[in-house]
Each structure stands twice: as C-alpha cells, then as structure tokens.
Structure 1
C-alpha cells in the first residue's frame, strides 16, 4: 500500500508509460563552448502519476522537460509521448502533438487579457476547431475551484486565480501528459499551495499525468515521486517524498555529493528560465 503527501492511497494505479526518455542527450554549442545539458538520460513518466523534477541550477531539469514536451530539439537518444517518437517530427506534426496530447503550465500565466476565464480555458480547443467535452470541462472547473469566476477577465483575478485558469486550460483538452515549469514561481505561499493542490487533485481525481519542474522542496512534496538531476544526469529517484526528505537530498548536491548522503553544505538551487508555447 502506498501513501501520498495527502495520505491518499493509490496502490494499483496504472503503470503504463505516458512519456519516456531513452539515452536522451542535449548539447548546446560546439568546441570549447560546448555545454552538455543532458547526458544520456533514461526515465519513464507513468500515467496518472505526479512527478517532480529537481536539481541545482544548471542541472538540466527544465531542459529535460522542454525536450520531452517537444519544445526543444534533442541531440541524441529518444523521447516519446505515448508511442510517438519526437525525434525527426516536422514542425507541423510537433505543433499538432503539443496541441492534442500535451498540456502546459508555466511560471508566467500566459492568459489573454481580453478573454474571460472560460474563454482562456477553451482557447486551445477553439483554435484547433474542437468542441470541449462539457462534462469533463465542468469537472476540471470544479476541481480547480473556478466555478464562480468563469466570466471574469484576468485583470479581475488574483495571481493564484489566474494560475488556476492556466491549470484548467492545460487540463481541459484531457491531454496525455501535463508539463509544469515552476508553476508556483510567481505566487505567494498560500496561492502556490492551492495550485499545487489542484495539480495533485487532477492526478488523484481525474487520472491526469503531471510532470513538474521545481526548485522548492515543499512543492515537490505534493508529488508522488521526485527525480533529481545533477550535471545533466539522473542521480536519484525518490518515491512518496516529504519536504524534509527532499531538502535533505538537495543538501547532498554541494561539493560533488551527487550520489549519496547529505553531509555537504547546502547550495541554494536557482530558477531555470521558462519556455513559451508557440
């Protein structure tokens, strides 16, 4: 039996793979300026699971997410969403994949100011010429607590409420996987906790798959699992994390303590730049 952050048992959850990296590499530059951002990373992200990715600044955590989401081209290896191999996909096919199978939540809310909350939520489907599943949309809106705010424009919403709209937008098309890059980075602690709770509930109650990059041990503790990166490699995979467990593990990244232990002095991990979806 497995117990999560909130004490909810989810033993028996599907072990099917929503996304997979195999020997994934990402290299920037050439010669003396070459930087290996990802070094032969292999990892599975399972369906209906909330995974957090952590590591020191420059460890490759956002690069991994961007490569898996088709936002950045990979240099070597394989990246798949479901059974679809991203390597070699043309721009049109990548755009279609991101639109149909992937949801995004970034640190910046990326809402259109002239649209209502509901219009922002359904915008990607409207652009694609698809009608939302009304029953699913109602469940999503209820899950993120926006039932009374659907006619409000972003300027009439708090930062936390705007991020809830962004979460609902990511959920509304029922994607195979949602990628969230520092989704609470612009929020106060209370609003951040609410948004993390909504992401967690989307996994527990709606069966969504969420992969989140974060530098915050408390945010990571909402996940079912935390993957730690250092120097472009996965160095640990922690199930059922608590904030204290994550913080202790992060302390081991200073002074080359990448493989085990936490005796090294802490180095505060930094924020990675967030991407935008074209």
Structure 2
C-alpha cells in the first residue's frame, strides 16, 4: 500500500502554504545533547538506555524521533526535557546546562521555557478549555500575552470552544487544547511523547497539522517521539534511534521513506 508523501489536512484544518522560518530563528539549537548517556541499574542488571548520543534540535524546526521499542527515544526526550537525569554527558536547553541544576531551578526551567504534550491529554475536567490553556501561567502567577494567546487559539482552531469543558470536547479537540496550553506560554521548545497515540487518524492529522502550523506560522520548535511513519512525515527531520544510539537522520521525510528506513533497521536487527 502506498502512503501519501505528505498527509492531507482534514476538512477545517489549515490548508494554506506556510512561509519559511525566519533566517534568524532557523539553524540555531533550541536544545542539544553532547555525549549523553543514560544507564539504569548496575552490574548484571545494568541497562544502557542511551549510549553517548550527540544531537541538536534546531529552532523553528519540527523534529520527529523514531526507533524500535526500547531504542531509547522516550528516554532521550525525557533527558532533554529535564524530566529524567543523565548519567554522563550534557543536555542543554538553549545556553542552559541541565546537568547539576537544583530541583527548584529545574522546575522553573520546565515551567517557563519548555512545553509538553503527551499521549494523555492531562486536562482538568472542572476547568473549561481556556482555563486549561492558561493554567500553567496562572499557577506561575503570570498573565498571558493576550495577542499571542489569541493567535495561538486561532492557530489551533479553538475560538468557538473556549467555554467548553473537556467532557464536551472530542478527543482531537482535547488534544488541541493541550497543544494550545503548550504554546501559550511561548516556550523555547515543545516536547511531544506520542501526542496522537490516543487519537483516530483524522483527529491525529488535525493535531499534527496544528503542530506543523505552529512551527511554520509561529516559529515554534517541536520535538516529537512517535512510532507512526505518517505522523513523522509532518516533521522537517526524522532522527532514528536503535539500541540507544542515533543510527540515521532523514530530512524532508515522506511516510514511505520513513517506513522503508524502519524496515531496514528491523531487517538488520533480525540478522545481527
């Protein structure tokens, strides 16, 4: 079966062409790992989840991380996002080295400079959409930039649903709220861990379209872990992991190209 080279947006999704990222935003690192290793356990039970990985995630770029189960893709994202400690090497957000940061500083960095989108929507059922979107800033005692907030809401297509609570929204709409929440605080980088994993193909395509739109229209940086070649084809670049190491890199991916790369890794694993 032949898959589309670039999945179409569903009806109601963004259809217009996207301007290129500005030269000042593109090409610089929003996050960077240098010789990063993550080891769990010791002795006979030791597991090397990440093995001296070095990678940059450039500003105003959408990067997908792919690999077989157990390859280290979620571990890499968690270490880069400050959700897990590193065993050795360096993890940086912008110019800030995460290694050695005290808990308070790390919490502040995650709150103020990083956005998160996970497979579970993580919305509070007692709050409506706009209250869920602004909740992290409310907790931090910060007022949102109203002009930016309005732009984000328009970008993700939620203007008519802001007063609805999560149980009044579809799964795709709830994940759009989660995307808007991640964007609203104007983070330096957004990390997504299988953000469309709980959605049907149509709703997933909507959310991926909005993430891509946030990169093209808003200059956002997005790093997404996924197992889905179609989801990865929305990215500007795909980084492939196997056995805790980066084994390949693909620019301007198509679903077919991603699938072929994944098949080649599976074949090598079976013959090794």
- The TM-score, its normalising length taken from structure 2, stands at 0.91
- Find 1:90's aligned residue among 102, 116, 124: 102
Distance in 2 (alpha carbons) for counterparts of 1:24 and 1:160:
35
Q: Which runs of 5+ in 2 are unaligned?
A: 9-16
2:204 alignment partner in structure 1: 192
Alignment partners' CA distance in 2, 1:244 and 1:18: 28
**1:4-58 C-alpha deviation (Å, 9 max, x unpaired):** 9587563764211100000000000110000000000000000000000000000
Question: Which residue of the partner structure matches residue 10 of structure 1?
Answer: 20
Pick aligned residue for 1:149 from 157, 161, 177:
161
Report the Cα offset of residue 254 of structure 1.
Answer: 1.7
1:273 aligned partner: none
2:117 and 2:182 in contact (8 A); partners too? yes
**In the TM superposition, what are the counterparts of 1:75-114 in structure 2 within 5 Å?**
75-114=87-126
Q: CA RMSD in A?
A: 1.6
Distance, in Å, in 1 between the alignment partners of 2:194 and 2:110 is: 19
Matched, 1:238 2:238: no
1:42-191 matched pairs, under 5 angstroms: 42-191=54-203
Question: Aligned with 1:197: secondary structure?
Answer: helix
SS of equivalent to 1:132: coil
Q: TM-score, normalised by structure 1?
A: 0.89
Higher relative contact order by CA 8 Å / sep ≥ 6: 1 or 2?
2
Work out the number of aligned pairs and report it: 256
1:261 aligned residue: none
Structure 1 residues 133 and 11, CA gap change in structure 2 (3 angstroms): closer
Match of 1:221 in 2: 233
SS at 1:236's partner residue?
strand
